[in-house]
């Protein structure tokens, strides 16, 4: 299996985990992705978290929603790449 197919599998798996898995484990996996960290940093700079304290319930709820969008966008990027 080529690297692009593995990428599709990886993002599909992360998307599935985010939808049905344990939220803490899902976000922990994303926190190891430098691109995701840049994404959340950009959201923070754009005041997406509305001044909430990191790790508060409100912050975590907003981050879960942002993670869903992130994974959907990434999944769509890899699905559209010819293999």
State how far Cα 13 lies from the chain centre. 12
17-56 pLDDT, tens digit per residue, is: 555 556 677 788 889 889 999 999 999 999 999 999 998 9
What total number of domains does the chain contain? 1
pTM here? 0.65
> What is the pLDDT confidence band of residue 6, given thresholds at 50, 70 and 90?
very low
More confident residue, 10 or 60: 60
DSSP 8: H
Q: State the average pLDDT for the chain.
A: 77
Domain that holds residue 70: 3-80
Q: Backbone phi, then psi, for 22, in 5-degree steps?
A: -80, 125
């Amino acid at each position: 299996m080529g690297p692009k197919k593995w990428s599709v599998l990886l993002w599909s798996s992360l998307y599935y985990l985010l939808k049905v898995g344990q939220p803490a484990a899902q976000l922990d996996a994303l926190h190891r992705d430098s691109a995701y960290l840049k994404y959340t940093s950009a959201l923070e700079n754009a005041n997406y978290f509305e001044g909430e304290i990191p790790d508060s319930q409100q912050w975590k709820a907003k981050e879960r929603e942002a993670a869903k969008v992130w994974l959907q966008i990434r999944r769509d990027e890899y699905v559209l790449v010819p293999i």
